[in-house]
Structure 1
Amino acid sequence: MCILRSLLATLALTTAACLPTTIAAPTAAGPPVIRVMPLGDSITAGLGSTTDAGYRLPLWNRAAAQSRYRVDYVGSLQAGTVPDRDHEGHRGWKIAEIRAQIDGWVTTAQPTYVLLHIGINDLAWGADPADSAAQLTDLIDRIQARQPGVTILLLGLIPTTQGLQQPAAAYNQRAAAIARPRLHYLGAPALTTAEMTDSLHPNNAGYARIADTLYTELNRREIARQRAAGTPPTAPTGWPRTPR
């Protein structure tokens, strides 16, 4: 009997030693992160807004208020009073200048979405709208060749840009006709003079309207993408991020 009790005690100690002292609670997966590259000129940079973030701040706030996905801005530049300061908005640049650098930017950033708004500087310097639209097409092809599967949201030029209404309309008409997979043209809002800080750049109110236009399409495309992939919506943890 003593031998049996000794064997049972030894077995109990051995079994206890093999069991984990704590059982880890299952961790809930956070929402998917989408990498969004704001790409363009000074309007993408946010010139004219009091935050130096332009549409990027109200767009961030709209995206942070939902739970299906999180936005991670990507780009080689950082600017503005916004939780995520990354972007690819180059003040004063024309389409050809963006195209000359785009391969490296896209390769590094690996965006899920590109928010593209470019061309007003070309027209302001007297470029032909048809030629500018052809350069835009080439830029789009470069982005998609470098990053297959990327979705491009192409925002047209502000149709009420002072002194450039006719060339902007001609450019927008050609931009809207560009047919590429995962390319979606968005008409820019017709901003009033009260929504502009100068002849080219919106103020906070104008940028908020641009952000609404971009968010509506970004949200619609991302929900459709998740549904197609069978990704269920989940609630974010510790979101939005702290400023960096």
Structure 2
Amino acid sequence: MGSEGPIRVGAVVTAVVAVIAAVAGIALALPAHGPAGAGLSAPAGAGVALPPVRASSPVDVPAPARVVPQPVRVLPLGDSITWGQGSPTESSYRAPLWRMVAGQSRFSIRFVGEQVSGDLPEPANEGHRGYTIDQIAQNVDGWMAAARPDVVILHIGINDLAKNLDIPGAPDRLAALVNRIYRDRPGVSVVFMGLLPTTPGLVPQVAVYNARAAALERVERRAGRSFSYVTPPALTSTERVDRLHPDDTGYRLIAQAIFPVLSRTIADREATRTVQAAAR
């Protein structure tokens, strides 16, 4: 064989390398994937051009829907002070109380009742001019059934005292009315505001009545019912339009007395519901 052996081997190697290069060039010229014309191609000897890597768009995950609690149904119940006598718009304490509630976000209210008076978005109430405790009691069953309140703001008794109607028995009549409210709607909360302590000519009678009414809080809570007593403001003569009725300044002071007690009552109701739901 002589010197031809190494030459032939070299030629063969060279030919093989040429074939491999040609095959590689053809492969690179073919589509990377998919049907003809759909893929990416590169000239022989060039690297494969890969599609640019795109950052995936962030997935928009909707925020959980905010649960808006239903408005608390509040029944203003009582006599002409609940109606609003003495206010030019007959808005009573209800208008300033409404604004106080609207100024916070923990809860909202809806005034309910068959009477309508006052310049406010929710003018419903059960304020009845001249009514005594017994007159409220005679009608309360129907009012409670129609209004279906969660909370009753009760203010009653001054006409019993002003008309000298069995004044010593007035606190007992009030207690009977409160119990009737609970019978009509078990689970309702009662917020009772005492009589105005500076009512001319009735200061000692009002003091006795209010003391007995305040004592109801302990009695009713011991029985498992929600009852809160609101200490009434001592209005001056400049905050009344007559012996019995506040002006708008007086009504604003009444609302300021009721608001924190109402807020606490509604918070307590919500806490009780939460505990009951967790126990189920």
TM range (shorter): 0.7 to 0.9
- Alignment partner for residue 239 of structure 2, among 192, 195, 210? 195
Partner secondary structure for residue 154 of structure 2? strand
The worse-fitting range, judged by mean Cα deviation, of 130-139 and 91-100 is: 130-139
Instruction: Could you tell me which runs of 5 or more consecutive residues in structure 1 were left unpaired when the two chains were aligned.
Output: 1-23, 232-244
- Alignment partner for residue 166 of structure 1, among 193, 204, 207? 204
- Alignment partner for residue 145 of structure 1, among 183, 186, 200? 183
Partner secondary structure for residue 68 of structure 2? coil
- Alignment partner for residue 223 of structure 1, among 254, 267, 270? 267
Distance in 2 between residues matched to 1:177 and 1:26, nearest whole Å = 46
What is the Cα deviation at residue 27 of structure 1? 4.5
> What residue in structure 2 maps to residue 79 of structure 1?
117
1:30 aligns with 2:68: yes
Comparing both chains, which one has the higher relative contact order based on Cα–Cα distances under 8 Å and sequence gaps of 6 or more?
1
Instruction: Could you tell me which runs of 5 or more consecutive residues in structure 2 were left unpaired when the two chains were aligned.
Output: 1-61, 276-280
What is the Cα deviation at residue 229 of structure 1? 3.1
Superposed, which structure 2 residues align to 1:70-109 within 5 Å? 70-109=108-147
What is the Cα deviation at residue 25 of structure 1? 8.6
- Alignment partner for residue 211 of structure 1, among 237, 252, 255? 255
When normalised by structure 1's length, the TM-score is: 0.82
1:185 aligns with 2:212: no
What is the Cα deviation at residue 164 of structure 1? 0.9
One-letter code aligned to 2:148: Q
Distance in 2 between residues matched to 1:214 and 1:25, nearest whole Å = 37
Q: How many residues align?
A: 210
C-alpha offsets along residues 52-71 of structure 1, whole Å, 9 cap, x if unaligned?
11100000000111112111
Distance in 2 between residues matched to 1:172 and 1:161, nearest whole Å = 12
Structure 1 or 2, whichever has the larger Rg, is: 2
Question: Percentage identity across aligned positions?
Answer: 43
Partner secondary structure for residue 243 of structure 2? coil
Q: Contact 1:59–1:211 (CA<8 Å) still a contact in 2?
A: yes
One-letter code aligned to 1:211: A
Distance in 2 between residues matched to 1:152 and 1:80, nearest whole Å = 22
Partner secondary structure for residue 87 of structure 1? strand
C-alpha offsets along residues 105-148 of structure 1, whole Å, 9 cap, x if unaligned?
00111111000000000100112332111111110011000100
Distance in 2 between residues matched to 1:184 and 1:130, nearest whole Å = 22
> What residue in structure 2 maps to residue 4 of structure 1?
none
> What residue in structure 2 maps to residue 19 of structure 1?
none
One-letter code aligned to 2:245: H
> What residue in structure 2 maps to residue 69 of structure 1?
107
Distance in 2 between residues matched to 1:67 and 1:138, nearest whole Å = 35
> What residue in structure 2 maps to residue 235 of structure 1?
none
Distance in 1 between residues matched to 2:131 and 2:199, nearest whole Å = 17
When normalised by structure 2's length, the TM-score is: 0.71
